[in-house]
Each structure stands twice: as structure tokens, then as C-alpha cells.
Structure 1
């Protein structure tokens, strides 16, 4: 049973069986109804049930919010107000209000671009909301619409508002275009987001020494229509750091930085920073030593293979030197020649401020460890022992001959010894010169050899 709440007095009923739901058609959109379900069987009607209130289906809202207003609070924040729509026009459960807004353009003629729409939702039956994150010095458009569970209703008419000036964005670029002995020229571009009328630029700069310590800051105000400036009376061969930003009537914007170095004094060139670069071969590698009088702390030993045309300036190998005036280069290839130099760089390790003269070093090849066996002491000693043994045997044979006379056995023995000796003596004479000299130093031994050869050595084979 059902009836429209506060409208119908009589109930409309329908009897159904074996179902748990029933759809009522032909009802107006989102209208409240009183509903109750009562059980019935063959014995009659059950107890009177409680009444439940429900609604018919939702549809899209039909009315846009009225009395829309905007209040600009500052260059990045605005507050919007509206009159809530009548509940009957919502045609559903009210979920809230949605504000659509977008930046139509910048008020500055140099920034005419448009930005995509943004959306903010305010749940419930609200009548105002905040729009944060706006772009200064810009024209914005917005509208408001109500939404329910079905969707959004029609939007209000577009309204517009302007944000006031703000601080500008950073300059688009800053670069050094000319570096001379005592002056530098800087160029820059205006900010992409001016956020108002530019009133000028602020340039600050200071010296940076070799230990990265900063000197006193100099400040220079520049007009808005200027895009370059030349700074005179700077110190030659000195690094400077620059801080640059733009400003409007609301203040100065973000800072960008840049660094540059004035060139060396061309009239009075600085004395060389390196001297007495030398090399020596050590057990661990090639020792490079030098003298250094510069102030820069970033010192490197650089080396490259000589006459390698495939290598460029960027292929020099670099070894950092931590405050000493000597360094051992390890891993160099034997037999190759290398070009070696010592350089001092700035604090950014990019610009070379001082460089020594190049040194040409050659890595020696390892000497051969294989010596002639004839020069070994053990071999010479062995040969002397053999010669001494042969000499003793010859003397013994000579003594026996004098005592026992000539006999075939002795002659055969001496003949065999003589042949072995003659063969050994001849071989040693040609192969081991030092051993032959040792034999010739003994006059008596030479006489014995001559005697034995004259007496016992047969002219032919034994």
C-alpha cells in the first residue's frame, strides 16, 4: 500500500504473492510517498504495519544558483557567493555545488594565453566557497551549478573578475656574453609570468675566491626596459657570482644565479703556477713530482698515450692530487710513451686555471730474467771439478807407467781417458771460453797434456 505524502488521504493497494518487491510506476519525480506492507492469508489480514517514507526516482536539477557574486581577497585568492536553489528544483538528494573557473588571459599584453578549466566542489547546502591558487594580474571567468545523485544541473551565467598585481616570476634567462680584463657584460630576458607591470630589475654580485669564500655584495638597480648591462672596474682573473631578479609594485620575484670569470691580465701575465715537473720509475709505477705556487686546491695529474690519434682532449686520464706535490701513476703499459701534465682547476672542476708544461715519459719494458747458463757459478764449479778429476786420473796413470812399464791394460785405459779428455777439452775450448783460460793458466798441466798426447795418444783409432 502507498500514498503520496501530505497529498493523498486514501491508500492505493495491490496484492502480490511469493515476491519480495514491487515497482510503482507513473509517479512524479522525486516525490515523497508513505509506504507500508501488510501480510494476508486465508484466515485474514495481519497486524497493521508501520509506515515508511520513501521517494520516487531522481532526475537532473532544473535550476541554476542565483545571486552569484565574487570577492577578490588578494592576487591569488577569491571568495564566491550564491543563493541556494529551491529544494523542489533539485529533483533528488542535494549533494552540493560545483564551481568551474579558468584563467581567460593575463592582463599584461605579453601574456595572452588561456589556462584549462579547474573545478571545486562544495558538498551540502553551501552558499559560498574559496578559490585558491589564482594567477596574479589575470582575468578569470567562473560559473556555479548544483548537483544531486543523478548529475549536475544547469550552470549559472559566466561571471568574471580580475586579480591584482603580484610579484613577478623569475627572469627567463641570464647569461654572460662578453668577458674582458676588468669587465663583464650580462644579458637577460623578462619573466614569462610578469604578474603585473615590471618596475625594474635587481642585480647583486660578489667575488668568489679559490676556497669558495664569498666577498661583499654589490647591488645595482636596473630599469625595466633594459636587457643588458656591462659591469666595469672588476678585478682581472677573478670569479664572480651574480644574483638577478625582477620586481613589480608588489615586490621582487624569485632569484636566478650565474657565475663568470674575468680573463687573465694581458699586460702583466701571472707567473707560472707549476715548475720543475719530473718523473722517475719506481716499484709501484711512474712517480711524477712538481712544484706548485698557485692558490687553487683542485690539482690533477693528467696523462694520455703519445701519438694516439684516436684520442681527443676529453680522453686525458685524470688523477686527483690531494694537496701533495707528487703522485704515482699506476697501471701504465710497459714500453709505451705517455704525455703527462699537471693542471689546476676552479672550484667547479671545469675551467683550467693553470697548467704545467707537458712531460714525455716512457715506461721501460721488464728485463729478461733468463741468463746464460755458462755464467752460473754452480756450472763453472762442476766443470772445474770434472777437470780436476781427469787431471788426477792422468797423474795416477803416469805414475803407474813409470813403475810397471808399458802394458796393454794401462795403454787402453789411458787411450780411453785421452779420447774423452780430448773430446771434452776441445768442446770446452769452443763453448766455455772462461774454462779454457783456466786450463791455460797452469803451465805444468799444459806440459802434462802435451806429454800425454805425444806419448800415449795414438795417431789413429785404438
Structure 2
């Protein structure tokens, strides 16, 4: 009796052991089919066969079942199916004991040609190099497949080569373009693609750009810490009537919605300034930043960029460098301007402090934490001294000191600047040329 029971139990165990769980998948290879495939058993057993289940993913649809006795077969093709619709599928192994354990997977039939192009393509805020494109996204149903990207094609009346930009988020409905050809007619169109096919293009629009000579030549932004951006630019080619710069910024929400258009946030009245700092920003957030050249009239030439702040959290900054300038001096004191130069290609920090002392002294003086600017003015430093300066980059609780630099406030040292040396040399040459001219006249 025990032997019989043992044989029965062993047989059931063996049958259960035979039921392999299969790795399977489903996808369409043409717009009108569904291919269900699986990994065949590595050790086929004549007592087993495959069973394939499939149906449209609707409660009212019945299951289709196909038994396959050829253990080397690894797929079936179901023809004449609608394009890109959802199915439930399952592939199991079967013997006298039943089916292997498996769960259903949701898959799609083949992808087809997208039948709708993005509509209402327009542009706003066009400058010599940039514009903001806007469009109406296509409907999900008209993609006829898994959405891949929007493709934006750009060319102009001077260069025939087509440049392409790609937007991978389906819900995006606007994009800042920053590399248009200046003083030209630029052409733009947009189309939508799935993973198999590319749809038709939208209507082509023309974007006429002005000459770039009136705006700043370059404009960039670098994250400082997680709540600030350091802005840097170069002066316009045309500096006639240049009075300064106006800067504004706005936070980009979601995929395309932007906070209400701001007024100019910073008004810089020094034409020689080439950097500014935006503070109190949100971490890990994209901002659209504009700079405009102020020439005292209503027509301002803008430059627009988009940058993202760093994610939340403080990190130890890299050592920075710094520049300095001797400003106004009187008989006893002078003023020094220190310019913080953080490592924007690494870990720049967020703010800074300047430590300074007379060389040889054991007592350091310090500025307050500088949070709103990248420079600080230190007044009333006695003349005819050598000072040691250190700039400390700060990010939260982390601080990193720069190397010590010596700055002399001796009158002779401040007088013999590079500019003064050049002027003195020019004066000497001029005087020598006058004497040489007189000498030759006398000899004649």
C-alpha cells in the first residue's frame, strides 16, 4: 500500500515538475497583426504542449485558446486585427495535471501611421537668436502606437540644411529655441512619431530674426547651490547709447504652463557689468531667464535661455578663485572690491565670505555672508600695507577656503598698474619721437 501511495505521489510530483513557467510577450509587427512569442522549453517533454490565450481587453470579449503540440514552435501570428489596440495574452505549458502557473499580460497589436499633425504652430518673443514655439498636441488616439517624440525641423533662407530638435514628452506644447540664424528668415515645422512610423508635418511657419548686433553676444546661467543662478553675459557689439541691462525670470510649471509673465526683476544701470545673481529660487526647477539691453528707449533686444536649479541639499563647495580692484583712495585709506569667482563647472557653493588681515597679524576680519551678489566692497583699509585675503565659498553648513592672496595698498604698487605702465611707456615713446624729430631738423 505504501509503495502504491509513493508511486502516486511521485507521479504527481513529476507531472507538476514538468509544468514550466514560460517567458512570453506580444506585439504587432505590422499595423494589422499581433505576434505572441515565447521561449521554448530547453528540454521538451512529449507529455507536454503549449496553450496560448488571447482576447481584446474588454469584459465582453471571449478568450481565444490555441493548443500547440510542436514543442519547438515559439510564436503564433494573429492576422486581421485592428491597429494598436490592447490585448490580454498568456502562454502556459499543459499536461495531464493541468496548466503551469502564469499571469496575463497586457500588450498591443501593431502600430500604424500617425494620422494627425500638431496644429496651430506659432512663435512668440522672437529675438535675433531665439524664439518660443507653441503648438497644440495631437490626440493620443491618432498616434496609432506608442508615442515616441515630437520632431521639430528648422532651416533658413541662407542655409538649406535641416536641423532637428526632439521633444519626448507627449504633453509638451511649447519649446524655447536658442540657435536660430540671425538676420534671416527661419522656417519651422513639427510632426509627431510613434516607435515605428513618422506622421505628417504641420504647416511651415516663417520666423524673421533681426540682426544680433544689438543684443548681448552670449548669455548663460550656472546653478549655485540649489536655490540660485549665476548669470553671465558679454557686452553687445553695438554699445551706442548703452545704459545697462534689464533681467527677468519666471518659473516653468509642468510641461508648458508658465507663471504669469513678470516685470523686469533686475535693473542694472552699469553698462560694464557682465554678471548677476538670482536668489531664493526653488530647487530642481526650470526657469526661463531673459536679459534685455537698455538703451533708454522702449525697443529692447532680448536674449532668452532656460536653466534648471540643482536638486535640494547642500554639498561641500570646491575652492574658488577671486579677483580684486583698488577703488577710491585718500591720503590714509583705500577701498578694495573683491569679486568671487566660484567653480561653476564643479561644486560652486551658494554664497561667500571674505576674510582679510594685515600680513603678519594674527587677527582676521570678515565680511558678512554675501548672499545677493558676487562681489563685495571693503572700505577704509589703511594705505601702505600688505593684506592677506581669503574667499570662503559657503553652501549650507559647508565651507571651503580659497588660497591666500596678497594685496598691496602701497601707493607705488597701486600706481604702477598695467594701465599706468602702458600709459607711461606710450608717453616716453612720444617724447623720444619728438626729440628725434627735432634732432633731424637741426642736422638738416
For Structure 1 versus Structure 2, the TM-score category normalised by the shorter chain is 0.3 to 0.5
TM-score by length of 1: 0.35
Question: Which is higher, the Rg of structure 1 or of structure 2?
Answer: 1
Higher strand share: 2
Choose between structure 1 and 2 for higher RCO, CA contacts under 8 A separated by at least 6 residues: 2
